Structures are given as C-alpha cells and as structure tokens.
Structure 1
Amino acid sequence: MPARVAIAGVFALALTAAGATHARAATLRSTALITSGTVRLSDLFADLEPGQDRPLGPGPAPGASIQVGGAQLIAIADEYGVDWLDQSPSAMATITRASRILDQAYFADLIRQNLPDLGNGPVSIDLRDFHPMMVAPDDPKPVVLSDVKWDQRSGWFSATAYRGQPTGDITRDSFMLTGVIHAARRLLVYAHALPAGSVISASDVQLDESYAGHIGSRAFTNEADIDGMTVTRGVVAGSAVLDQDLHRTVLMHKGDPAVITFAAPGVHLTATGRALEDGGAGQYVHILNLSSSMIVTGRVVSASEIEVEAGSNPVPSDSNTLRHLTTSSRDASRADLSLR
C-alpha cells in the first residue's frame, strides 16, 4: 500500500512538472499590429520567458504587411530557444505596420503653410493626380516640401514632397505635388439642387461672400442677370452659377405680335409690333412698329410686351435692314444669346 502511494505521488509530481512546462510554453500570434519599424520576437510569439524578447529585423512599411511561414517560424523558434506549442509547417503569422493616411486635406494645409503670400483668407487648393500616402501614426513630421513654386496669376503651383522617414524606395520617398490655388470670390451660388431645364428665380440662388471653389467660366454676381434663365444641366447646392450652365429662356419668339410701350415723365405711348428675333426676359431685341414701319430696340418684359427706353433711335424698315436683322438674329440664336 505505501508503495502504491509513493508511485502515485511521483506520477502526480511528474504531471505537475509537465503542466508547469506547458504553462510556460509560447503561443504563436497569427496576426500582429506593430507601431515601430522593427519586428521583435514577441510580435511572433506570446508568453515568452522573461528576457527572451529581442529584435529580429526590419518591419514592413507603414500600412503594409509581411507574412512569416511555418518553416521560418520553426527556424526562429529553434534559434532563440522558444518552446512553441503546436509547431506546424502550415502555420502562418501576419505582421502589419500601423499607419495613418495623409489625404488631400493634409497636403492642402501643408501647401498653405509653405505659401505665406496666400494670407489668411479662404482659398481652394485642388491637387492634380494625387495619391494618398501612408505614414507611421507617431511620425511628427511625415512630409517635408521643397522647391515650392506658385504663379499667382494662373494659380498653378508645384512642389517636391519628401518623406520625413525614408523607406529606401526612391519611387515612394519623394514625388511631385501639383495643382491650382483659387482665391475666394464674391459670387452667386445655387441655394439648392436643380435639375436640367429648370428656370431660375431669385429664390434659387444666394450670394456667397467667400466662394473658393474652381470656376471654369464666367460667374455671376447679380441676381438680375440670371433671373428667368434656364439651367442646361443638373446643378447641386453651393456650386457657382456659371454662364456655361445657363441659357436665356425664350419668352418672345421671332414673328410674335407684341405691344410696344414707351414711358417718360408725363408721356406713356403704346403701339403694336412684331418681334424680329427671339428674346428672353430682360433681353434687348428688335421689333417692327406696324404703325410707323420703323424698327425699334426694346427690352422684353413678357411674352407679349416690349419696353422701349428713352433715347432709343428707330431705323427705317427697308429690305436691307430687315435682311441684316434676320441674319444677325439667326447667328445669335446659334450662339445662344446672353443678356446685353
């Protein structure tokens, strides 16, 4: 009986010792996120012995990953004396370097810091052929700009960007940064989205005192200039009101009958006439006075009324004048007449 107890005690001690050995065994990390540029033994194995951790080699670039296969893991464990449970040639560990993204807003702010002549007013900085950059999250100065050039008249700028912490890859450590800087302007913008074919009224636009977006053509600043015009394409709220997106809405068509009105202090005259060209609201067109057979120039008030202002000089309606007006009207229609 005592012998059996002794054997059982020895067996229990052996189990306890084995359990303690396995308790101290390392386990593989299948994935690891590192913040430094060096891979350590503890990035591959957890539960290492005290003082066993050590650097293994360079890590991936910020935002990139490397994979360590089973055969290499076994070799590393053997070299550094790591008691690794469940060793297998099919094992795999993936190590990813933490990163942050430098986007367009970051580089636009960097350009502004390097161009003190821009002042403190609002500007729009549009980058061309831009690609975001991955950098270490704790890098205090990830990019340095050099050779910053800016043409104030055209707005074009260029600069060379260098990584603060080079990777050793010349194609990634520096690149050209180019774009256009637009100074803020006072102009009309759309108050809300409008579909193509919409006729604009004063409630559809508002004045932006510091618009800094890109302007590809003439922009409007006066509501009266665009009232009654038609949008040729869909527009979004906040975008600039540009002449390339508008055309004059025709109220009066060539050949339409119209009432000619003339008003001056103490005088109000009316006559019947016939429009000699198309015209939109507020647009000046030629009209034939049927009573006097004279041609006058007046402003389109509505689809049936032309207002002739004081100082307007009528011209005879001879065949040459009518032919000239007809040709001019046809050419103007092709060019989509704007307010004169």
Structure 2
Amino acid sequence: MRRRGVIAGIFAAGLIATSVVHSQAATLRNASVITSGTVRLSDLFADLEPGQDRPLGPGPAPGASIQVGGAQLLAIADEYGVDWLDQSPNAMATITRASRVLDQAYFADLVRQNLPELGNGPVSIDLRDFHPMMVAPDDPKPVVLSDVKWDQRSGWFSATVYRGQPSGDITQDSFMLTGVIHAARRLLVYAHALPAGSVISASDVQIDESYAGHIPSRAFTEEADIDGMTVTHGVVAGSPVLDQDLHRTVLMHKGDPAMITFAAPGVHLTATGRALEDGGAGQYIRILNVSSSMIVTGRVVNASEIEVEAGSNPVPSDGNTLRRLTAPARNASRADLSLR
C-alpha cells in the first residue's frame, strides 16, 4: 500500500510537471487596434493565462498611435509574469486607437441643427479653413457647438466647437468653426460642360429651382437674357450661369452697314444705316440713318438688321460724327463715297 501511494504521488507530480512544460506561452502583438481609451496587457500580448489580463494605462487619442519598445516590453512582461516567446530588446509593438472622421458634411449638418431659423429648405454651408476631426467611433456626442452666430444678410456664421470627451490638450479640445450659409434660389445652370468661346443657346442651360451653391457675382434667371452670348472660359454642368462667365457676342460691329427697320400697326419702314457702336443680339445700339443723317437707337436683330421701336426719338448727327463714320468707309470701298 505504501509503495502504491508513492507511485501515485510521483505520477501526480509528473502530470503537474508536464502541464507546466507544455503550457502555451504568450506571443507579442506587433500591431493592434483598440477602441477604448485604455491600453490593456492583452493589447500587447496574445494567449495570456486566464485572469492575467489587466489595464496598463491611458491609450493614444482617437486616430493616433503609440509604440512600445523592446526594453519596455520586457519590463512589462517581467512585472506581470508574462511568459513571452522570442523575447528581444529589439521588439516593437504599435497600438492604434480606432476613430471615425468628422468631415465637412458632419459639421454642416451640425450647424443646421443649431440654426432652426434656416427652416427645412435647401441651403449650402461652406466651411472655411476646415480640418477633419478624429473622434472615438463609439462616442454618441463627440462634439458640442456653442456661441453659434449667423449674419443673415452676408451669410457669414461662426461657432465654437468643443470636444465631448476632452483630451486635456487645449489646442485640440476646442476650435472656431466659420463659413458662409447660402439659401436656395431659382437660377439658370449649365446643362452640360462648354468650352471657352461657345455661343450659348437654350439647349445649353436649364432652370435649377433650388440652387444652394455659392454665387460670387450676378447670376441669370431667364434664358432670354443670355441667348446668343459667348462663354469666356470653360464651364461645367450644373454650375450657375454668371455674368462674369459671359460676354455679348458681337453680331454688328461699329461701321457695319445695316438695314434699319421700323414696324407699327399698318406701317413698315426701312432705311439704310451704319452702326455707330458694336452690338450683340438683342442689344440696343446707336445707328446713323444715312438718308436723313439722324442717329437712332435700335435693337440688334442679326448681323445686318437693326429694329427701331415706336417711341424712339432720333437726334441729329453733327459733322464730326459723320466724318468719323465715312473716313474708314472711303478707304474700304469707293462705293461708300455716296454717303458723303
């Protein structure tokens, strides 16, 4: 019985020794991503013993990383009894804090929520000197807006942004948010892209009933106002038709011969004239009636016709005006000598 008890004791000791020898050692995590603000032992080492995991200290800011070098890793493993395979002073572990990005769309929506006077209509909110912000992915209220101010006349607004979970760095925990808010309006936009020099027709533009983008200068709202005008530079589809983008396409140049027409109920008159200034389609310019030497104002119909409306008052031309007009004509064609 005594011998049998000794053997049982030796066998039991053998089992214990075997379990120690064959226990699985921890392995280093060369890179890990954490979601909380605290670094744990398991963020550095995998395969820890049950109950061995514990917090080590504060983690990096959302989106940032920290590195733990070999000497520090050895010290941590020694302090917490981690049996670590392949221990080396050259080892390195990188811990990155998970994050989500608060972009321009997020802050524009936040501004709108804080300005109920904007109503439910479409607006555009352009942020100035904006930089995206990294926050914890599980933070339900990562930032708060304070002191929101909006000048409805100019559209300028400003607000102070505070982190919901301060990091302790005053330069990162709050900043000024500024920009411009544009209310929606009805205007013309380009239906498709056009290169510089294109002459616009009705098929090149369309009405946007609720355009909310930034408009730096006068914008057109009617197709009739821009028909026949020329694009001064390339434009893209959907952009507003602005005064600065266009110039009137010259159909009639100063000195060009033209037919003057006058129409009224029961009356239709024509006369020979000569333009005194450049004019585009639909533009009103002055023209000399060659037969009467009177100056009238009419609307450019095409490259060779000026239409004078009822109520237009002709004025006499002086000798200087006539000489300025006929001098280049004499050089151009002897047939024009009849105008003297």
TM-score, normalization by structure 1: 0.89
Give secondary structure in 1 for the equivalent of 2:307. strand
> 2-side partners of 1:20 and 1:188: how far apart?
81
Partner of 1:328: none
Partner of 1:247: 247
Partner of 1:306: 306
Partner of 1:91: 91
Partner of 1:113: 113
Give secondary structure in 2 for the equivalent of 1:42. helix
Q: CA deviation at 1:19?
A: 8.0
Give secondary structure in 2 for the equivalent of 1:134. strand
Query: Cα–Cα, structure 1 residues 22 and 265, in superposed 2: closer, same or farther, change >3 Å?
Result: farther
Q: CA deviation at 1:291?
A: 1.2
The answer to whether the aligner puts 1:57 opposite 2:46 as a matched pair is: no
Q: CA deviation at 1:317?
A: 1.1
Query: Cα–Cα, structure 1 residues 201 and 68, in superposed 2: closer, same or farther, change >3 Å?
Result: same
> 2-side partners of 1:17 and 1:46: how far apart?
23
Partner of 1:285: 285
Query: Cα–Cα, structure 1 residues 134 and 269, in superposed 2: closer, same or farther, change >3 Å?
Result: same
Q: Deviations over 1:56-106 (max 9, x none)?
A: 000000000000001100000000000000000110000000000000000
Structure 1 runs not aligned, ≥5 long:
1-9, 326-340
Partner of 1:153: 153
Query: Cα–Cα, structure 1 residues 322 and 43, in superposed 2: closer, same or farther, change >3 Å?
Result: farther
Q: Deviations over 1:196-230 (max 9, x none)?
A: 11111111110010000001110100101101111
Partner of 2:47: 47
Partner of 2:141: 141
Q: How many equivalent residue pairs? A: 314
Partner of 2:104: 104
Give secondary structure in 1 for the equivalent of 2:181. strand
Give secondary structure in 1 for the equivalent of 2:177. strand
> 1-side partners of 2:23 and 2:129: how far apart?
55
Give secondary structure in 2 for the equivalent of 1:126. strand
- One-letter amino acid of the structure 2 residue matched with residue 96 of structure 1: T
Q: Deviations over 1:7-30 (max 9, x none)?
A: xxx9xx989956864542100000
Give secondary structure in 2 for the equivalent of 1:209. strand
> 2-side partners of 1:323 and 1:77: how far apart?
104
> 2-side partners of 1:117 and 1:40: how far apart?
48
Deviates more, 1:23-32 or 1:57-66: 23-32
Query: Cα–Cα, structure 1 residues 16 and 229, in superposed 2: closer, same or farther, change >3 Å?
Result: farther
Partner of 2:184: 184
Correspondence 1:197-276 to 2 at 5 A: 197-276=197-276
> 2-side partners of 1:285 and 1:208: how far apart?
32
> 1-side partners of 2:22 and 2:31: how far apart?
22
The answer to whether the aligner puts 1:162 opposite 2:156 as a matched pair is: no
> 2-side partners of 1:52 and 1:314: how far apart?
103
Give secondary structure in 2 for the equivalent of 1:81. coil
Q: Percent identity?
A: 89
> 1-side partners of 2:243 and 2:184: how far apart?
19
> 2-side partners of 1:294 and 1:18: how far apart?
122
Query: Cα–Cα, structure 1 residues 100 and 266, in superposed 2: closer, same or farther, change >3 Å?
Result: same
> 1-side partners of 2:195 and 2:58: how far apart?
56
Q: Deviations over 1:15-61 (max 9, x none)?
A: 99568645421000000000000000000000000000000000000
> 2-side partners of 1:235 and 1:99: how far apart?
39
> 2-side partners of 1:102 and 1:230: how far apart?
42
Q: Which runs of 4+ in 1 moved over 4 A?
A: 13-20, 320-325
- One-letter amino acid of the structure 1 residue matched with residue 52 of structure 2: Q
Give secondary structure in 1 for the equivalent of 2:110. helix
Structure 2 runs not aligned, ≥5 long:
1-9, 326-340
- One-letter amino acid of the structure 2 residue matched with residue 303 of structure 1: A
- One-letter amino acid of the structure 2 residue matched with residue 258 of structure 1: A
Query: Cα–Cα, structure 1 residues 228 and 18, in superposed 2: closer, same or farther, change >3 Å?
Result: farther
Q: CA deviation at 1:319?
A: 3.5
Give secondary structure in 1 for the equivalent of 2:66. strand
Deviates more, 1:58-67 or 1:13-22: 13-22
Partner of 1:71: 71
Give secondary structure in 2 for the equivalent of 1:107. helix
Q: Deviations over 1:97-152 (max 9, x none)?
A: 00000000000000000000000000010001000000000000001000000001
- One-letter amino acid of the structure 2 residue matched with residue 241 of structure 1: V
> 1-side partners of 2:200 and 2:91: how far apart?
67
Q: CA deviation at 1:323?
A: 9.5
Give secondary structure in 1 for the equivalent of 2:239. coil
